[in-house]
Chains A and B, each alone.
Chain A
Amino acid sequence: MLGAFAVGKTSLVQRFVNSIFSEKYQTTIGVKIDQKLVQTGDTEVNLMLWDIHGEDNYQKVKPSYIMGASGYFVVVDVTREETLGVGLNLQKMANEMSKGAPFIVLINKTDLPQSEWYISETSINELKDKGLEIILTSAKEGTGVEEAFSRLTELMINK
Chain B
Amino acid sequence: MLKDLPLKIVEYLVEEIPPYSGLLMIKVDNRGVVKNWKGNPKEYLGGKLTENESIEELVPALNGICPFDKGSVKLTKLQLKNKYCDIHVVKENGHYWIIFIDQTREVDSLKSLLQNMNEEQLKGRGNKTNSKEMPFRHLDKLNFATFLRKDDGSFSLQPNTPGWIKKHAFYNKASGSIDPISTFPFLEIFILEVEEFWKENKESYVVSETWSETFAGKDHYLRAYATNLNNSNYLFLKSFIREGVEEQNLLQAFRDSSLAFDKLAKTEKKLKELLVYKNKFNSIISHDLRAPIAAVLGVVNVLTTDEEEIGKLNEDYQELIYGIKDEMNRLLDYNNKLYHWANLELGNFKLEFETISLDEIIKIATETAREKCNEKNIALTINVEAGLKVRVDKTLFLQALNNLLSNAIKFTPISNSIKITAKKDDDKAFISVVDTGIGMNDDMVKNLFKESTNNTTQGTSGEKGTGLGLGIIKKIIEAHKFKITVKSVPGKGTVFTIEIPESNLA
Q: Do A and B bind each other?
A: yes
Residue interface mask A56-100, B partner, CB < 8 A = 1? 111100101101100000000000100000000000000000000
- When distances are taken between beta carbons in the complex, the residues of chain A under 8 Å from B248 are 26-29
B220 CB to nearest A CB, Å = 10
Total inter-chain residue pairs, C-beta < 8 Å? 72
Task: Say yes or no: A29-B256 contact (C-beta < 8 A), given A58-B11, A59-B14.
Answer: no
Bound state CA distance, A57 and B7, in angstroms?
A: 8
Number of interface residues of A (CB under 8 A): 25
B1 CB to nearest A CB, Å = 16
A118 CB to nearest B CB, Å = 8
Bound state CA distance, A30 and B7, in angstroms?
A: 19
Question: B259 at interface (Cβ–Cβ under 8 A)?
Answer: yes
Q: Does A29 contact B188, Cβ atoms closer than 8 Å?
A: no
Question: B478 at interface (Cβ–Cβ under 8 A)?
Answer: no
Residue interface mask B378-398, A partner, CB < 8 A = 1? 000000000000000000000
Contact residue among A5, A30, A48 (Cβ-Cβ distance under 8 Å from B255): A5
CB-CB nearest in chain A for B245: A29
Question: A6 at interface (Cβ–Cβ under 8 A)?
Answer: yes
For residues 119 through 155 of chain A, which have their beta carbon under 8 Å from a beta carbon of chain B? none
For residues 191 through 214 of chain B, which have their beta carbon under 8 Å from a beta carbon of chain A? 192-193, 209-214
Q: Does A48 contact B185, Cβ atoms closer than 8 Å?
A: yes
- When distances are taken between beta carbons in the complex, the residues of chain A under 8 Å from B160 are none
CB-CB nearest in chain B for A58: B14
User: Could you say which interface size class chain B belongs to?
Assistant: 20 to 34
Q: Does B210 contact A30, Cβ atoms closer than 8 Å?
A: yes
Residue interface mask A36-68, B partner, CB < 8 A = 1? 000000000000101000101111001011011
Bound state CA distance, A117 and B392, in angstroms?
A: 47
A69 CB to nearest B CB, Å = 10
Q: Does B259 contact A58, Cβ atoms closer than 8 Å?
A: no
Bound state CA distance, A25 and B188, in angstroms?
A: 29
For residues 223 through 249 of chain B, which have their beta carbon under 8 Å from a beta carbon of chain A? 244, 247-248
Contact residue among A25, A34, A58 (Cβ-Cβ distance under 8 Å from B10): A58
- When distances are taken between beta carbons in the complex, the residues of chain A under 8 Å from B211 are 30-33
Q: Does A80 contact B262, Cβ atoms closer than 8 Å?
A: yes
B250 CB to nearest A CB, Å = 9
Q: Could you name 9 residue pairs across A and B whose Cβ atoms are closer than 8 Å? A: A5-B258, A25-B256, A26-B248, A29-B244, A31-B210, A34-B213, A57-B7, A58-B11, A58-B14
Shortest 8 CB-CB distances between A and B: which pairs?
A30-B210, A31-B211, A30-B211, A27-B252, A32-B212, A58-B14, A27-B251, A30-B209
